[in-house]
């Protein structure tokens, strides 16, 4: 809007925000549903399975990461969502030899509970705005590795609450993924920072207040 000549004082940006959420399910329910051990590490990606969301990038990067991660680490990728690319993505997981580690959960109405049960979020969409699933992960205290699109660099403080890499930096994406899979302490530290960032910037109460202030200003002008 600024580039189109709209005066700064007439521009108000209000981030997509969400209410707090605490899962009421017992710890370990998702691993039980998937038949995984209690010490399995879960990486989750949530997206409509279309080319723009680049789940093929995520699966290939996960395959590369599996080749670098210690064989003692039982890491799994959960793909939440459905779409026309589903069968091709399943085929890619088979081709990479990681089909036993990639779980397609389909459409779910309990995404926030799933994210809260996972250890790490990954997201590689090429075009976004202010991505809700990143904010949901922040609220759950789950760190993320994402490619830069939309408001990613505003949502995630790079190197503090997660990592943001350039869209085509597959090596960087893989390196950051491996780092957080292998470093329990850093995941915990980043997760706390992510939760704090949600609380200070993306709580629905904050957005509601800003909407109220904006409409009050318009009504009084």
Q: What is the pLDDT of residues 198-209, one digit of tens each?
A: 999 999 999 999
Kindly state whether residue 7 falls inside one of the protein's structural domains.
no
Q: Model's pTM, two decimal places?
A: 0.93
Kindly state whether residue 178 falls inside one of the protein's structural domains.
yes
Kindly state whether residue 1 falls inside one of the protein's structural domains.
no
pLDDT beyond 90 at 129: no
Kindly state whether residue 193 falls inside one of the protein's structural domains.
yes
Kindly state whether residue 2 falls inside one of the protein's structural domains.
no
Give the pLDDT score at 10: 86
Instruction: Give the separation between CA 7 and CA 65, rounded to whole angstroms.
Output: 46
Starting at the edge strand found earlier in the chain, the sheet holding 144-147 runs 102-106, 75-80, 41-46, 120-123, 144-147, 162-165
Maximum Cα–Cα distance for the chain, whole Å?
Answer: 64
| Mean pLDDT for the stretch of residues 177-187 | 97
Domain count, the chain: 1
| Mean pLDDT for the stretch of residues 87-99 | 96
Give backbone dihedrals phi and psi of 78, rounded to 5 degrees, phi first: -105, 125
What CATH number does residue 186 fall under? 3.40.50.2000
| Mean pLDDT for the stretch of residues 112-123 | 98
pLDDT beyond 90 at 221: no
Mean confidence (pLDDT) of the chain: 95
pLDDT beyond 90 at 88: yes
Kindly state whether residue 15 falls inside one of the protein's structural domains.
no
Q: How does residue 39 score in pLDDT terms, banded at 50, 70 and 90?
A: very high
Element (H, E) at 146: strand 144-147
pLDDT beyond 90 at 70: no
Give the pLDDT score at 31: 97
- Structural domain harbouring 157: 25-220
């Amino acid at each position: 809007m600024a580039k189109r000549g709209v005066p700064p004082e007439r521009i108000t940006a209000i981030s997509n925000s969400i209410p707090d959420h605490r899962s009421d399910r017992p710890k370990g329910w998702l691993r039980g549903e998937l038949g995984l051990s209690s010490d399995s590490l879960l990486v989750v990606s949530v997206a409509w399975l279309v080319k723009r969301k680049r789940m093929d990038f995520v699966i290939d990067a996960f395959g590369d990461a599996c080749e670098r991660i210690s064989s003692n680490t039982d890491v799994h990728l959960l793909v939440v969502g459905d779409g026309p690319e589903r069968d091709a993505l399943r085929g890619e997981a088979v081709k990479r030899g990681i089909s036993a580690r990639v779980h397609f959960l389909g459409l779910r109405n309990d995404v926030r509970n799933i994210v809260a049960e996972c250890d790490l979020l990954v997201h590689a969409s090429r075009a976004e705005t202010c991505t809700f699933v990143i904010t949901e992960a922040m609220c759950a205290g789950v760190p993320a590795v994402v490619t830069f699109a939309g408001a990613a660099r505003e949502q995630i403080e790079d190197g503090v609450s997660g990592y943001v890499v350039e869209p085509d930096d597959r090596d960087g994406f893989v390196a950051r993924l491996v780092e957080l899979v292998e470093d329990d302490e850093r995941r915990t530290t980043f997760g706390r920072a992510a939760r704090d960032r949600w609380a200070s910037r993306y709580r629905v109460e904050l957005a509601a207040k800003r909407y109220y202030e904006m409409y009050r200003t318009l009504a009084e002008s």
